[in-house]
A = this chain, B = another copy of it.
Amino acid sequence: MKLRVPAILSFVLILIFSAKIIGSEHSLMPVPKEIKWLEGKFRLTNEFSVSIKGSPNERIYSAATRMLRRLDARTGLFFNQDFITPANNLDSSEFIIYVLSEGRVVLGEDESYKLLIEENSINVHAPTDLGAMHAMETFLQLLQADEEGYYLPMVEINDEPRFQWRGLMMDVARHFMPVDVIKRNLDAMAAMKMNVFHWHLSEDQGFRIESKIFPQLHELCSDGQYFTQAQVKDILKYAEDRGIRVYPEFDIPGHATSWFVAFPELASATGPYKIERQWGIFDPTFDPTKEETYEFFDKFFGEMTELFPDEYFHIGGDENNGKQWDANEGIQEFMKAKGIEDNHQLQAYFNQRILKILTKYNKKMVGWDEILHDDMPTNIVIQSWRGKEAMIESAKKGYMTMLSNGYYIDLIQPASFHYLNDPLEDDTILTPEEQKRILGGEATSWAELVTYETVDSRIWPRTAAIAERFWSPKNVNNIDDMYRRLDRISFLLEEHGLLHIKNYEMMLRRLTDNNDIIYLKTLVDIVEPVKIYQRHFQGVKYYQHSPYTRIVDAARPESKTAMLFNKLIDEFLIDRSAQYRDKIISYLNLWENNHDKLTETTRLSPIISEIIPMSENLKELSRIGLEAIMLIRNNEKAPVKWKDKATGIIEAAKKPYGQVELRVTAGIEKLLRHVF
């Protein structure tokens, strides 16, 4: 019997099916709030043009121009418009951007937009140009091609962010990050709809900004590596043009050794002081009992608050170990006299004095969770890093707060770990009112172990997953789909000059002294730097001036190859089909054969020698993996002796070398355990 399907039903089915296909093919990141795929394509030709309507801020014109240039760079199309300006703005065009009013780059500004792509026209409607710029980023991510040429799929998107504070913090103090590094990361942030740049400008290891009031600060505390005020203004403009708020952090009272090179008298122990070259937590800390300290900050913050227009101003406050305070008689007496019971309370006293200064200059204080104290007023913002407890406690107590715990990208954890870390869990104990105080969060790029050569790869692409966590609806949390899209996003991010992909092979070339990198790459493709803080505890003491050009520095935080391999193992252990098995065998053969070739071609690269034992372990591991597959294939169990040998090999393969670890060990171990 032939089933007669009503025409309309067929049509609907086709629609749903097509939408599903297009929908699942999309590589948008962050995923928009509402997407309605339509049927059809908007074809891109040389005649493509853009016009602006409404009352936008002038930044929209250069943003539209940048969009056009990124589009022609990818497509090779020769558009007519050179620089889109108010003066040459077209009356009509294929792509029309309607902006209701000027966007202010401040917390809470409307960043929503509607993007409608139809067959002959594209329209953006946004209350502010900030939303319009987000629309342009979504638009660029939609670009596709078929045999006829480039096109955009027809779609209707309604989008707005879940959280208002979607930030990246860059520590430019432990290792200086020049202007071009900051700018390309701002471009990448904008592409990911991130809107807050937290500029961590001072540390024990360096003071990174020009002060005209206290020039000794940049003259004596920076090794000549700092941002001039002209450069700061240039970067502020660059960020503002991209809808990104910028606020500075001057981490006090601890984490401040470098300042005391210029002003030892403000420390809590006698100097002189030298710029700190090691990593860790150090004793030097500001003396909170001296009026000179507050006179200094009044002047210095008077200058800095003038330079940075954002309403928020971060004063750090983390990891102040209080040792200098404990050992300082004058401070002890002060505490006794004032009834201050402990260092936490003394630091709260300090923070209150600083808060008065910031308030005088119309700034709102932000600090790490150590600044949370009942003596502090609730108009400060708490950056929760040691856990989520501080964030929850802050929200409950009436403080605004944002989350960095779980977004510490310097700890080399997978994108999925950060992706699933949500500022507002489903089972939150917070009331709706309290929940509103969770502003969002910040990924933190601490710079002990990165330099301008490697920082991009430690931030991207994983921070894109965090950006999605901050923007997209809570229920957008499918890990596999995130990784699928992350892969493409990582590629697209190169457009901004990021070095996260390019520098990998450059560093491998340097490591092999320009010999064929293939064998080293085969190994380094499947290792990752050891996680959390382990790198500091494996026999290598790192200093600020140490080289960060070894294999561990070239290795990517997340090995895509290892992830794919481990997935293959999982699939294979469920369904023993030949397709998985053959791919696995292919990898294992590759890795087994790699060792001899690697050692042969890198005899004259001593810098690589530290990895050779791992290469050997990988060879053994691969061999034993291949043997396990044979056993599985033959439906055999492993002999005891083999089991012992395999166990020894697995354990050896888990050992880190050069502060990297093999990431395929877990997968191969599963294979082995399967035949144990």
Contacts and interface: CB of A to CB of B under 8 A. Distances in A.
A329 interface: no
Given A180-B179, A180-B180, A543 B74 contact: no
A505 B521 CA distance: 16
A544 B145 CA distance: 26
Interface in A181-239: 223-224, 228, 230-231, 234
B495 A74 contact: no
Interface stretch (A49-57, A380-388, A560-568, A603-611): A603-611
B505 A549 contact: no
A506 interface: yes
A494 B510 contact: yes
Given A228-B230, A505-B505, A69 B488 contact: no
A75 interface: yes
Most central of A76, A144, A501, A549 by chain B CB within 10 Å: A76
A546 B79 CA distance: 7
A509 interface: yes
Interface in A274-329: 277
A610 to B, nearest CB: 8
A417 interface: no
B607 A76 contact: yes
A147 B603 contact: yes
Contacts of A514: 488, 491
A543 B69 CA distance: 13
B509 A494 contact: yes
Contacts of A550: 76
A158 interface: no
B145 A605 contact: yes
Contact of A76 (B150, B501, B549): B549
A547 B72 contact: yes
Contacts of A549: 72-74, 76
A491 B509 contact: yes
A46 to B, nearest CB: 10
A425 interface: no
Nearest to A184: B180
A441 B670 CA distance: 66
A169 to B, nearest CB: 22
A82 interface: yes
Identical copies in the complex = 2
Contact of A510 (B144, B495, B499): B495
Given A494-B506, A506-B501, A72 B606 contact: no
A377 interface: no
Interface in A37-89: 62, 69, 72-79, 81-83
Given A488-B514, A494-B506, A145 B604 contact: yes
A144 to B, nearest CB: 8
A421 interface: no
A225 to B, nearest CB: 9
A78 B607 CA distance: 11
Contacts of A509: 491, 494, 501
Nearest to A513: B145
A513 B506 CA distance: 21
B502 A503 contact: yes
Most central of A81, A228, A547 by chain B CB within 10 Å: A547
Contacts of A62: 224
Interface in A534-549: 540, 543-547, 549
A341 interface: no
A178 interface: yes
B607 A74 contact: yes
A69 B76 CA distance: 40
B546 A277 contact: no
A607 B145 CA distance: 10
Given A73-B510, A494-B506, 10 more contacts: A73-B547, A74-B607, A76-B549, A78-B547, A81-B545, A82-B277, A145-B606, A228-B230, A228-B234, A488-B514
23 contacts: A62-B224, A73-B510, A74-B510, A74-B607, A75-B547, A75-B607, A76-B550, A76-B606, A78-B547, A82-B543, A144-B604, A145-B605, A146-B604, A150-B606, A178-B180, A179-B179, A179-B180, A180-B180, A228-B234, A230-B231, A491-B509, A491-B514, A502-B503
